[in-house]
Structure 1
Amino acid sequence: MSLIKPAARMLAALALCLPFATPVAAQQKSVAVTAIVEHPALDAVRDGVKDALAKAGYEDGKNLRWQYQSAQGNTGTAAQIARKFVGDQPDVIVAIATPSAQAVVAATKQVPVVYSGVTDPVAAQLVPGMGPSGSNVTGVSDMLALDKQVELIRRVVPAAKRVGMVYNPGEANSVVVVKALRELLPKHGMSLVEAAAPRSVDVGSAARSLTGKVDVIYTNTDNNVVSAYESLVKVGNDAKIPLVAADTDSVKRGAIAAVGINYRDLGEQTGRMVVRILKGEQPGAMASETSSKLELFVNPAAAKKQGVQLSDELLKSAARIIE
């Protein structure tokens, strides 16, 4: 008995030093988030993800290690961030917008990836279809039904025949939308006039090139365009060209109207998928999701600056009127 007691005391002493580190490490989760650029819609996605994690009990600095990096619009930087995050081996990488998602998916086949704010994840080659991917990738698309976008253009500018679109030809999201509009608009008696803006600094000059050629400019969620939206608004106001957007935050910045997704809600939806993975689900067994919650935002002051008289019907149907 005399030999057993010292051994027991030694084990007890060791227990005071060792056991507490192990459970904390086991509970600690790591989520790395990257976006191609910072603008209101993508920032709202990021914040929504963080909110959803907090609601599920994952708090930064306590039981969660949260990392965020923006590529500042540079695809080369997006690839560097992707490689850095993969090397960190987090529990989940959240990639916001198509270029960042493509960079992360190209960098890893093991670390779980949840994309968000991607219009067409299949065309972007992130997943083979909208069902379970069988890979390390799942996520939430911000794809919008284009017929509703065309309907809004008609409601804002009933006589419109020529629809201008400024977009980045290097962004898969925008290429998909342009291709679809080329086919859809003629069915409504309209045509598409395109202006390329490969960089954010090109948005203003691309918009000016449409002056005198279009009756309205439509903008999708192209990240170059949205990040430089004020330059587009200046052209719209100066040349009296109405702006119709797919991003409701763009209405706050000077577009006349948008039927779009609430990107904070999209972020929370994305965050709930992240939580499921943190709790043990496999991303490859989770189908990609979309959001069906659309909102109409209208900006009467922008309409006045751009030479448009909005109907009472349009104003009454708005979820939010920007004053």
Structure 2
Amino acid sequence: MKSLSLTHKIMASAAAMALGLGLSGAASAADVTVATTAIVEHPALDAVRDGVKDELAEAGFVEGKNLTFLYESAQGNPGTAAQIARDYVGKAPNVIVPIATPSAQAVVAATKEIPVVFSAVTDPVAAKLVPSAEASGTNVTGVSDLSPIGKHVDLVLQLNPSTKTIGVPFNPGEANSVVLLDLVKKHAAEKGIAVVEAPATKSSEVLQAAQSLIGKADSIYVPTDNTIISAFEAVAKVGVDNRIPVFAGDTDSVKRGAVAALGFDYYDVGRQTGKIVVEILNGKSAGDIAFQGVSKTNLFVNPAMAEKMGLSLSQDVIDSAQEVIQ
């Protein structure tokens, strides 16, 4: 679908609003296309996509009525991410929403004109999506999910005080993962804790990476690394089989076997991203919107999995959690 002038959309929306549609914003009744893509499918990134779609619907952009909502997964392949980005640029949607750093890098490299609203990107500046934390003046903005790594290290030590070494499975090919690993090392060093790296460049290597930590790590911490999270159950299995507690940077992983996570609700991250998309559909320039961070965190715990990994969570910890996985 060719991108139409928002001035024309404003004119079209007036007639629709007169019919009592009650849709907010100048472009809300016009037909628009929003193209979303993620580097891989896993619960956190899927929740971002769903949050974006629901926020659009709440603003009056409803799929099947006035919204064409596209979605493609790169299945963990950066080459596929680049191909999807080029395909989307050819379709000329009103906004492209790449989810996670590799997809965002691919889309930003593919277009300097179509508005891009990234989501779930750890460090947009380090990933070279935007030049600084200020409004970029380009076609790019979005939402960063930089994890509160210091709090994560504190949580590991609180729940497993005997930890002297933290094992970190990560994909060295993901810029976001390298940033997070460096932060883990920094905060762990401040506590006198060593860090052992366990690289995996694709999902099929995650089990082997986790197994390499047996006998080397007292706790395993999985950051918001898309490759590792896509095969999280493999890490959890190593934790159970060897009684090594596994902690995570995203709360969805607690449902999949982590002992605990202090993180964001990625559906809320999607809703926050969707609000920016709506602003752009209603006429605001992406370059005038500084990228945003997420400040609210939630504690998720899984007492049953903790027991299987050799830990017993105190009642105080369980009571303080926003969600307890049974």
TM-score, length-normalised on structure 2? 0.91
Q: How far does residue 135 in structure 1 lie from its aligned partner after superposition?
A: 0.5
Q: Deviations over 1:60-105 (max 9, x none)?
A: 1211111111111111110000000011111100000000000000
**Equivalences for 1:34-49 in 2 at 5 Å?**
34-49=37-52
Specify the code of the residue in structure 1 equivalent to 2:236.
V
Structure 2 residue matching 1:69: 3-state secondary structure: strand
Structure 2 residue matching 1:163: 3-state secondary structure: strand
How well do the aligned residues superpose, as a CA RMSD in angstroms?
Answer: 1.3
Residue 181 (structure 1) aligns with = 184
Residue 10 (structure 1) aligns with = none
2:85 corresponds to 1:88 = no
Residue 126 (structure 2) aligns with = 123
Structure 2 residue matching 1:27: 3-state secondary structure: coil
Gaps of 5+ in 1: 1-21
1:281 to 280, 284, 287: 284
Residues in 2 aligned to 1:144 and 1:223: alpha-carbon distance in whole angstroms:
14
2:312 corresponds to 1:309 = yes
Structure 2 residue matching 1:93: 3-state secondary structure: strand
Residues in 2 aligned to 1:189 and 1:283: alpha-carbon distance in whole angstroms:
43
Residue 113 (structure 1) aligns with = 116
2:266 corresponds to 1:263 = yes
Residues in 1 aligned to 2:298 and 2:268: alpha-carbon distance in whole angstroms:
11
Residue 17 (structure 2) aligns with = none
Residue 35 (structure 2) aligns with = 32
Moved more, 274-283 or 123-132: 123-132
Residues in 1 aligned to 2:159 and 2:222: alpha-carbon distance in whole angstroms:
14
Higher Cα Rg, which structure: 1
Residue 199 (structure 1) aligns with = 202
Residues in 1 aligned to 2:68 and 2:317: alpha-carbon distance in whole angstroms:
45
Specify the code of the residue in structure 2 equivalent to 1:279.
N
Residue 158 (structure 1) aligns with = 161
The 8 Å contact of residues 150 and 184 in structure 2, kept in 1 or not, is answered as no
Q: Deviations over 1:4-38 (max 9, x none)?
A: xxxxxxxxxxxxxxxxxx94899211100000011
Residue 219 (structure 2) aligns with = 216
Q: Deviations over 1:233-257 (max 9, x none)?
A: 1101001110011110000000000
Residue 147 (structure 2) aligns with = 144
Q: How far does residue 176 in structure 1 lie from its aligned partner after superposition?
A: 0.4
The 8 Å contact of residues 247 and 258 in structure 2, kept in 1 or not, is answered as yes
Gaps of 5+ in 2: 1-10, 14-26
Specify the code of the residue in structure 2 equivalent to 1:105.
V
Residue 53 (structure 1) aligns with = 56
Specify the code of the residue in structure 2 equivalent to 1:163.
I
Q: How many residues align?
A: 302
Residue 236 (structure 1) aligns with = 239
